[in-house]
Structures are given as C-alpha cells and as structure tokens.
Amino acid sequence: MLMLLYRFVALGALLLSSGAGAGAAATHPSGSASFAGFDLSDSTSGHERLRAAPLPSSDGSMALAFDAVRSSNYHTVAPGLMLREERSWKASDGTTVYEGTMRIGHPPHRGESIIAEIDATTGLSAGAETHRVSRLRLSIDGDTIRVQAFDPDMKALDAVGGTMTRDRIIAFRIAVGPSGRTEVVVNGTRGIFALPVAEPLSFQIGLTVEQDIGQHPDPVDVRMLGLTAEHHPRFTAY
C-alpha cells in the first residue's frame, strides 16, 4: 500500500564518499495514500505544468505512464511525470528523511531515466531570472541506479547506487541533516553526500526521460509502490 506522510523540513549537493553497505530497505506503513503537499509536474507535452496529483489505484499504488518522445521544438523540456513538493526548504531548517519503493515497468529505449531528484532554485536576487538546477539525482543506467551530486558549478560526481531487483524494484532512503550531510541508500548500497545548506530546495519523484530520446513513440511507465516524507524542524535553544 502506498502511504505518504508529509510534515515540514530541509535538504542541499557535493559528493563526499560512497560505498556499499547493508543499508536498510525502505519500509512503508499501511493505510490510505495521501499526497498532501505534492503536485504532479507534467512535462509530457514539452512544457511543464503543475496539476493535482492523481488518485492512487485500489491497491494504494500509483502508475505514471507516458510516451517518451521529444517535441520537434529543440527548446522544449524533457518529457516526464514527477510528483513535486509544493514548497521549498533549506537544509539548515532541520532533518528530512524520504523513503520510497517503485517498480520500473517499461523503461525507455533511449535517453536517461531520472527517477528522483532534489533541485535548487537559483537567481532569487532582485531582478534575476529564477532557474531550477539539480543538486542530487537518482537515475537508471540499465539495471544500475546511478546517484549523481552536482556542486554549485554543476560539476557532476557519480556513484553507483545499487542495482534493480529481478522484478525491477527500486527501494531507496534519503536522509538529510541540518549540516547538509546526506545519506542515500538504494537497494542496500549506501553513499554519503553533502547538500548546500542555504539554497531553497525541493524534491520530486517519478520518471523523466532526458538526452537522446528521439521523436518516435516510446511508451514508458513506473509504478509508485510506497513513499514517505518526514520533515523534522530544527529547534533552537535560547
């Protein structure tokens, strides 16, 4: 059953170290699914639009399916369906833990499949144009899950984040502390990263297909089996 718990919190991106470990698999409480605090970001038409998250199916899971085909306009955004947090936060605000489980039904034949991402909003100074830039990203490379961290200069640092199970299940846990220290566990493989503490950040999960995806029909789908988001504010003692 899919269950999403929403409270309040933080996050931030620069790779410190990574390595395999026992790592806890994501666990999910039973009950009715709740997507309070999340919208559906739909860029399947080449332009992003936000709308209410769809209702889960009778078993509590949620299927996200679309055609991974790029518009003839080069400047359109990559096609995808992502559940995006409505609000932004900073790593210094407190502690955040995300846990999720998904099944990749039909991956794209071409391009890079992004399944989860923490991005930052830049250009918030007066008169500047705002942009969202990736700080931490989980993507699929064959049966391998890649974890990429991006520093403020957008230099990417890569780590192997585990492999999918035989039935294409991915279970992950992302835990972020107020110092920006971030632990990522994907199917038992653990990595330690650092996220910036002062940037406004947000989280999204689902499926987006980037890069060389072509203009021919390529149906893809992912099913969200479980998702929890816990946000714990940091309290200052006076």
- pLDDT tens digits, residue range 82-138? 999 888 889 999 998 899 999 999 999 888 899 999 999 877 655 666 778 999 999
122 in a structural domain: yes
What is the C-alpha separation between 106 and 36, in angstroms, rounded? 28
Number of domains making up the chain? 1
169 inside domain: yes
Q: pLDDT tens for residues 152-174?
A: 777 777 888 899 999 999 999 99
Residue 51 burial (C-beta neighbours within 10 Å; 0-12, 13-18, 19+): exposed
Q: What is the DSSP letter of 110?
A: S
CB 203 within 8 A of CB 98: yes
Is 4 domain-assigned?
A: no
Reported pTM: 0.82
CATH number at residue 117: 2.60.120.200
Domain extent for 62: 14-229
Considering the domain boundaries, does residue 105 fall inside one? yes
Instruction: Tell the burial category of 71 from Cβ atoms under 10 Å away from its Cβ (0-12, 13-18, 19+).
Output: middle
